[in-house]
Amino acid sequence: MGWASRAALTLLAAMLGAMTLLALPDPAPSCLEGRVFDDRGAVPGARVRVQGTKICSRSDGRGRFRLSPLLAGRRATAWREGYFIGGTDSASDPSIFLKRLPSDDNSDYEWVDPSPSAAEGQNCANCHAEIYREWSSSGHARSVEGRHFRNLYEGTDWHGKPDSDWGLLTQHPDGAGVCASCHAPTTEAFGSRRIRGVASSGVHCDYCHKIESVADGQLGLSHGRFNLRLLRPKEGQVFFGSLDDATRGEDAYSPLYRDSRYCASCHEGIVFGVHVYSTYSEWQASPAARQGIQCQDCHMKPTGRMTNLAPGHGGIDRDARTLHNHRFFDGSQEEMLRRAVKATVEIERGQREVRARVCVWSEGVGHCLPTGFIDRHLILSVEGLTPDGRTVDSIEGPILPALAGEKLAGRPGRLLARVLKDMEGRTPVPFWLAAPDPPLDTRLVPGRIEEIHFVYPRHMARLRLRVWYRRFWSEVTRRKRWPNDETLVFEQVFSPPL
Ligand code: HEC
Ligand code: HEC
Ligand code: HEC
Ligand code: HEC
Ligand code: HEC
């Protein structure tokens, strides 16, 4: 090594030394030592945190904790099972008092309205404006008043005309009370009378955040609220959630909120003997479940836009990646569907015919595609085109059934759906008139590739592959006079080699 490089090294070492000196933490004021206690004394094993950060530790056998370094202006918080979250009041007093959760659920509790109110009330939207906006545009907010739901429940059409076709109250009135347990969890009575007040907000904020644990009823048979244990206070408030450092004094942490089991009681349901809702059991069997990916990871993924849960109302600035969306979709369902549906085509041109091997699968979905309400379906259309763009029928391969609707029935393709039949074998039928035998299920199973073969005449020049998503059978949409809401989620044109 020459003298020049040796000098450079010495200089570098000196600079590094100076930098380490500069970067050394200031020990005394940034380290906080304190104690967690309750009405009886020390609370050992509490989770202690510098609020809004990842820095945490646990209180020891005598309730003492040490947190370092404490960021300027941040409080320390503590939580243990059975308690509200507590926090330090000031930097000079490092002790944290933990208040016990109420021991019993109060069934006389009055539900808080989620929507904004003019008065300085407890209404969630008054402080959580952004979360409220997201929730309002989600299905959870429409689970009672949604027009499709109402029409199918009451037997009305889009314009409110009674006795039109499918209707639970008209076709199976004895089953009227069954829907409330999931769709209107805060009402006892759910009959022909219209629900009023907070209960008409469906699956609302206050209900979801009073869920304390999952009961031990059999999933699928014990529906919605009958399988969820609540903790409603006699006085004051209790809000359970996934933050262990919210310190309004009314907040409590529960790990259940980051777990698929939280969603299971409402998203798994055998109704009138028919397995109508199977999203949770589909998830249990999925690669996502094996990798530990929960419903919330995909459906409540942070938008990255929210940095404060209650700006101007006591919320603190937080990392946007730790706050979850209440739209319950990553962007929108349409965007998720577009990202989820994948397909490739291999085309082989023979002497007299063209053979196509179509592969369809789903990606980034933690259950079958589609899932949810039993009438949801995808239509895969595999259309041959002549050089001038006219359609060519296939010679071999599956064709779409009448259920796909007038426009598409008989054309090459496949229906990806669960198809219920009634006792006489008729279809489509509402689930309340269906025979209990498991329906034919042709949906996309996560991790599995569907391979379908088609043969077209020689003059077929291109292949147009399209996938539509529909929420309801087209025949029902037509008879209910619903606006058409089918969504094209995949479209690609493939050309065979010359
Ligand atoms: C279907 C049940 C459900 C409904 C309805 C619901 N929440 Fe939540 N909420 C959750 C779950 C689950 C989490 C935890 C998400 C996570 O950590 O992955 C959560 C998290 C939160 C948090 C903690 C911060 C965060 O983003 O993780 C707040 C605050 C909150 N919700 C407020 C509300 C408000 C206000 C409403 C109504 C406008 C509402 N919630 C409606 C289930 C619900
Ligand atoms: C108290 C019952 C209940 C709980 C708990 C619940 N859901 Fe739902 N969920 C429903 C109902 C009912 C609907 C259907 C609303 C409608 O369209 O009528 C729904 C709809 C949805 C939708 C479709 C939303 C849309 O905008 O179309 C998604 C996604 C969803 N839930 C995900 C979840 C996830 C994830 C969880 C757990 C974190 C969860 N739900 C917890 C009852 C519940
Ligand atoms: C007066 C303002 C205000 C109102 C009204 C309000 N909240 Fe909050 N809420 C807050 C603040 C502030 C926090 C703590 C935010 C933080 O730590 O960043 C919070 C936290 C929460 C949490 C987080 C709990 C946890 O530990 O994960 C939930 C859940 C919650 N609120 C639900 C609700 C619901 C449901 C309603 C309506 C019934 C509601 N809030 C009404 C201000 C409010
Ligand atoms: C790996 C990500 C992932 C996981 C985990 C996941 N989902 Fe989904 N989910 C999706 C995608 C992507 C869609 C959009 C495609 C679709 O509509 O089926 C979706 C759609 C849905 C829908 C709408 C169905 C419809 O067409 O109306 C519901 C309801 C739903 N999921 C509930 C759940 C529940 C409940 C869980 C947990 C038991 C869960 N999901 C787990 C990714 C996921
Ligand atoms: C086990 C809980 C549960 C029960 C019981 C239940 N539902 Fe549902 N329902 C759901 C969930 C969850 C969804 C959302 C699935 C999705 O978005 O695909 C839903 C969606 C629906 C939809 C689609 C709404 C829309 O706008 O797309 C209709 C219609 C419906 N349910 C009717 C009923 C009727 C009628 C009953 C009573 C006979 C009933 N449900 C009972 C959980 C339940």
Task: Judge whether residue 399 has pLDDT over 70.
Answer: yes
**Could you say which ligand is closest to the alpha carbon of residue 333?**
4
**Token reading at 495:** 């050309």
Task: Kindly state the average pLDDT of the residues 220-247.
Answer: 96
Tens-place pLDDT, residues 313-330 = 999 999 999 999 999 999
Which distant-in-sequence residues (6+ apart) come within 8 Å of 223 by Cβ? 178, 181, 182, 265, 266, 269, 271
Q: Which residue in 120, 85, 116, 117 sits closest to 100, CA to CA? A: 85
Which distant-in-sequence residues (6+ apart) come within 8 Å of 77 by Cβ? 48, 49, 51, 85, 86, 87, 88, 96, 244, 245, 246, 247
Name the closest-CA residue to atom 9, ligand 3: 310
Task: Kindly state the average pLDDT of the residues 219-226.
Answer: 94
Pocket of ligand 4 (CB under 6 A): 260, 263, 267, 279-280, 283, 288, 293, 295, 297-299, 333, 336-337, 340, 364-367, 369-373, 376
10 falls in which pLDDT band (50, 70, 90)? very low
Tens-place pLDDT, residues 409-455 = 999 999 999 999 999 999 999 999 999 888 999 999 999 999 999 99
pLDDT confidence of residue 195: 86
Task: Kindly state the average pLDDT of the residues 126-137.
Answer: 97
What is the CA angle 352-357-360, rounded to 5? 155
pLDDT confidence of residue 498: 61
pLDDT confidence of residue 33: 86
Tens-place pLDDT, residues 259-275 = 999 999 999 999 999 99
CA of 377 to the centre of ligand 2 (A): 18
Task: Kindly state the average pLDDT of the residues 342-369.
Answer: 96
Tens-place pLDDT, residues 475-494 = 999 999 999 889 999 999 99
Q: Which residue in 487, 486, 482 sits closest to 146, CA to CA? A: 482
Place of tokens 């060519």: 392
Tens-place pLDDT, residues 51-86 = 999 999 999 999 999 987 666 678 899 999 999 999
Task: Judge whether residue 18 has pLDDT over 50.
Answer: no
| Residue with the larger pLDDT of the pair 1 and 449 | 449
CA of 370 to the centre of ligand 4 (A): 8
Q: Does the Cβ of 138 fall within 6 Å of ligand 2?
A: yes
Q: CA 461, CA 384: separation in Å to the nearest integer?
A: 7
pLDDT confidence of residue 165: 87
Q: Does the Cβ of 262 fall within 6 Å of ligand 1?
A: yes
CA of 213 to the centre of ligand 4 (A): 22
Q: Does the Cβ of 124 fall within 6 Å of ligand 1?
A: yes
Task: Kindly state the average pLDDT of the residues 235-259.
Answer: 96
**Could you say which ligand is closest to the alpha carbon of residue 145?**
2
CA of 101 to the centre of ligand 3 (A): 16
Backbone φ and ψ for 284, nearest 5 degrees, come out as -55, -30
Prior bond to 428 cis, omega within 30? yes
Number of Cβ within a 10 Å radius of residue 250? 15
Task: Kindly state the average pLDDT of the residues 216-226.
Answer: 94
pLDDT confidence of residue 21: 42
pLDDT confidence of residue 196: 86
Among 111, 230, 263, which is best to mutate for testing ligand 2, by the most ligand atoms less than 8 A from CB?
263
Q: Tell me the one-letter amino acid at 287.
A: P
Task: Judge whether residue 276 has pLDDT over 90.
Answer: yes
Task: Kindly state the average pLDDT of the residues 203-228.
Answer: 96
Using CA atoms, how far residue 329 sits from 129, 186, 303, in Å, is 18, 24, 10
Which distant-in-sequence residues (6+ apart) come within 8 Å of 442 by Cβ? 414, 415, 416, 417, 418
Name the closest-CA residue to atom 43, ligand 1: 208
> How distant is the alpha carbon of residue 258 from its chain centre?
11
22 falls in which pLDDT band (50, 70, 90)? very low
Tens-place pLDDT, residues 81-110 = 999 999 998 767 789 999 999 999 999 999
- Chain mean pLDDT for the chain: 91
3 falls in which pLDDT band (50, 70, 90)? very low
Residue 463 burial by Cβ neighbours in a 10 Å radius (0-12, 13-18, 19+):
buried
**Token reading at 98:** 């933990």
pLDDT confidence of residue 39: 96
Give per-residue burial for 32-68: e unless 16+ CB within 10 Å, then b.
bebbbbbeeeebeebbbbbbbeebbeebeeebebebe
Q: Does the Cβ of 140 fall within 6 Å of ligand 3?
A: no
Using CA atoms, how far residue 346 sits from 358, 368, 392, 413, 463, in Å, is 7, 25, 18, 16, 10
Q: Tell me the one-letter amino acid at 256.
A: L
Using CA atoms, how far residue 74 sits from 52, 71, 127, 307, 451, in Å, is 8, 6, 21, 16, 57
Q: Does the Cβ of 47 fall within 6 Å of ligand 3?
A: no
pLDDT confidence of residue 6: 52
**Token reading at 105:** 């659920």
**Token reading at 148:** 């499709």
CA of 342 to the centre of ligand 4 (A): 16
> How distant is the alpha carbon of residue 388 from its chain centre?
45
**Token reading at 250:** 């009314």
Task: Judge whether residue 118 has pLDDT over 90.
Answer: no
Using CA atoms, how far residue 433 sits from 71, 157, 170, 375, in Å, is 62, 19, 12, 13
Atom of ligand 4 nearest to the CA of 263: 35
Tens-place pLDDT, residues 278-318 = 999 999 999 999 999 999 999 999 999 999 999 999 999 99
Please report, rounded to a whole number, the percentage of residues in the chain having pLDDT higher than 90. 84
| Residue with the larger pLDDT of the pair 188 and 126 | 126
CA of 373 to the centre of ligand 5 (A): 6
Q: Does the Cβ of 181 fall within 6 Å of ligand 2?
A: no
Name the closest-CA residue to atom 18, ligand 5: 372
Q: Are 141 and 202 in contact (CB under 8 A)?
A: yes
pLDDT confidence of residue 90: 72
Q: Which residue in 32, 70, 64, 68 sits closest to 46, CA to CA? A: 64
